[in-house]
Amino acid sequence: MHVMNEDTLSSRSPAPLLDRMAHGRKALPIAVAFWLGACAAYHPLPLTDGTGAASVAQLGVPAGSMPLPELATHRFDPSDGLDVTETAMLAVVNNPALKVQRDALGIARAQAFAAGLLPDPQLSFGADLPHNSGGGLTKAYNLGLGEDVSALLLRSSHRHAASAQAEQVNLDLLWAEWQTIAQARLLFDQVQGLRAQQQELERELRALAPVDKAVQAALAAGNLNYDSASAGLNAMADVRKRAGDNAVALHQAESDLRQLLGLAPTAPLELTGAPYEADPDAAQLAAALADLPQRRPDLLALQAGYRAQETKLRGAILAQFPAITVGLSRARDTSNVITSGFSVGLSLPLFDRNRGNIAIETATRQQLKDDYDARLLATRGDIARLTADLATLKRQQAAQATHARQLDGARQSAEQAWRKGLLDWPTYLSIRGNALAADSDLIATKQARATAMIALEALLGRTDFVTPRTSKR
């Protein structure tokens, strides 16, 4: 049997070789332990049943996590009901959609971290085992260490692009939080308005009950025919239908608000206090419009996305140049000749030259620019429309409030006259129907104005001119 390098080994003392082998056996476990310690470990994350919080009292809201100053300075105390600011605070912390978006931010930050890591070198090893045991033959090996230089050259572009994308995702999250706050305020106002409307309709049903009873009794006694009684019968049926429709809308609004707050479907929803109100003047609107692109999160996010795309385009242009790989090698052939060397690899930019990716990144940059311009133009148009709507709704609400108060006085006088027998029931029902319609129109106008105010504030991205009325009962 042929012994590898027998003459070479016999010419040296075995002690140094044995010492090196013993040292290697001691160092190997340390190196393996260090490598294993740097590796990530798997941890299970079980799925939940998705029932939501059974009560607001189970939830806490850290004020420091609020994206708006008026939320960060407000004390969260749901023990006496949720006011409009506490509702917005809870939505920011516990909204399921925002939790998913925060997870997306974690992914973007992880991608930015990955883009900044240096590429690992490539280690290669090969061996040749001679089958003919001729004299002077030995086992051959080839050991190489290589690195992709092009990846190192493009690392800065990739890292800057990933960082800008993470910034974009962070700003998109902030914009989503602002939208969630606006949605919470809208739903708070809708639920409160529908509850007030339901109470109004139930009061009307109770007030119409004696009239309906009298009409039914007159029909049964033959003192009225159905033609004459139709006004009384229809009045009760109309209010009953309106109460049913309003109850359905209330159920939907309460369900939407519970989902926004991450509450269980059966969780109590006690709301208290006045709705959110904002009414900026012309000077405040002009100031808000002037620096809108430097303040609103979604516009800032589009700007960050555009910067990321600029970096990607520059990276694609750099990638058109030859890709470079370098390496070091050490080898021994079967005749026991040991060599050391290096290698350099270059791609030949004859056909591809990364022209396809350059064209894609250029077109994508143009799309992002046009998207930003379109968003800004649409925003300015929406702000102008909402400003005009608010002026109209403000005048309309004032006129309807006066009209409703007048008809409410007429309704009270008519009720007293009817009870004394001084007014016939068809006229009495007509007055009550007109007063109820005026009250409903006033509630609807208040809701429309609140919706426009909240939408305008969200579009402007400023709250320093807003004085919310959030006092509890």
Structure tokens at 69: 């100053």
Amino acid identity at 213: K
Question: Whole-model pTM?
Answer: 0.77
Torsion of CA 423, 206, 225, 422, to 10 degrees: -10
Q: Which residues contact 238 (CB under 8 A, 6 or more apart)?
A: 433
Q: Is residue 185 in a domain?
A: yes
Q: Decide if pLDDT at 224 tops 90.
A: no
Q: Decide if pLDDT at 463 tops 70.
A: no
Q: Given this model, what pLDDT does residue 232 score? A: 76
Q: Is residue 243 in a domain?
A: yes
Q: Decide if pLDDT at 376 tops 80.
A: yes
Q: Decide if pLDDT at 194 tops 90.
A: yes
* C-beta of residue 140 within 8 angstroms of C-beta of residue 52: no
Q: In angstroms, rounded to a whole number, what is the distance separating the alpha carbons of residues 385 and 381?
A: 6
- Would you list the DSSP string of 344-403? EEE---SS-TTHHHHHHHHHHHHHHHHHHHHHHHHHHHHHHHHHHHHHHHHHHHHHHHHH
* C-beta of residue 71 within 8 angstroms of C-beta of residue 89: yes
pLDDT-based confidence at residue 6 (cuts at 50, 70, 90) = very low
* C-beta of residue 436 within 8 angstroms of C-beta of residue 404: no
pLDDT-based confidence at residue 406 (cuts at 50, 70, 90) = very high
Q: Given this model, what pLDDT does residue 471 score? A: 45
Angle 150-151-152 from CA coordinates, rounded to 5°: 90
Dihedrals φ, ψ of 148, to 5°?
A: -85, 105
Most confident of 133-142, 355-364, 455-464: 355-364
pLDDT-based confidence at residue 34 (cuts at 50, 70, 90) = low
pLDDT-based confidence at residue 367 (cuts at 50, 70, 90) = very high
Q: Is residue 11 in a domain?
A: no
**Helix runs in 65-129, H state only:** 69-72, 84-94, 96-115
pLDDT-based confidence at residue 1 (cuts at 50, 70, 90) = very low
In 164-176, which positions are buried (b, 16+ CB within 10 angstroms) versus exposed (e)? bbbbbbbbbbbbb
pLDDT-based confidence at residue 338 (cuts at 50, 70, 90) = confident
With H, G, I as helix, E, B as strand and everything else as coil, classify residue 153: helix
Per-residue pLDDT tens over the stretch 152-181: 777 777 888 888 888 888 889 989 999 999
Q: Is residue 293 in a domain?
A: yes
Give, as one character, the DSSP assignment of residue 222.
T
Q: Decide if pLDDT at 470 tops 70.
A: no
Most confident of 232-236, 314-318, 341-345, 358-362: 358-362
Per-residue pLDDT tens over the stretch 107-123: 888 888 888 887 888 88
pLDDT-based confidence at residue 244 (cuts at 50, 70, 90) = very high
| Owning domain of residue 121 | 66-460
Q: Decide if pLDDT at 420 tops 80.
A: yes
Domain total of the chain: 1
pLDDT-based confidence at residue 274 (cuts at 50, 70, 90) = confident
Pick from 168, 166, 158: which is nearest to 314 by CA? 158
Per-residue pLDDT tens over the stretch 72-131: 888 888 888 899 989 999 999 999 999 898 898 888 888 888 888 878 888 888 888 887
Q: Is residue 351 in a domain?
A: yes
Q: In angstroms, rounded to a whole number, what is the distance separating the alpha carbons of residues 421 and 426?
A: 12
Domain of 161, CATH number, reads 1.20.1600.10
Q: Which of 31-45, 54-68, 154-168, 298-312 has the lowest mean pLDDT?
A: 31-45
Q: Is residue 149 in a domain?
A: yes
Q: Decide if pLDDT at 10 tops 90.
A: no
How far is residue 470 from each of residues 75, 195, 444, measured CA to CA in Å?
11, 18, 21
* C-beta of residue 225 within 8 angstroms of C-beta of residue 305: no
Structure tokens at 383: 């702000």
pLDDT-based confidence at residue 31 (cuts at 50, 70, 90) = low
Q: Given this model, what pLDDT does residue 48 score? A: 79
What's the longest Cα–Cα distance across the chain? 136
Helix (H) or strand (E) holding 328: strand 324-332
Q: Decide if pLDDT at 362 tops 90.
A: yes
Q: Is residue 31 in a domain?
A: no
Residue spans of beta strands (DSSP E) within 212-363 = 324-332, 338-346
Q: Is residue 40 in a domain?
A: no
In the chain, the percentage of residues whose pLDDT exceeds 90 is: 30
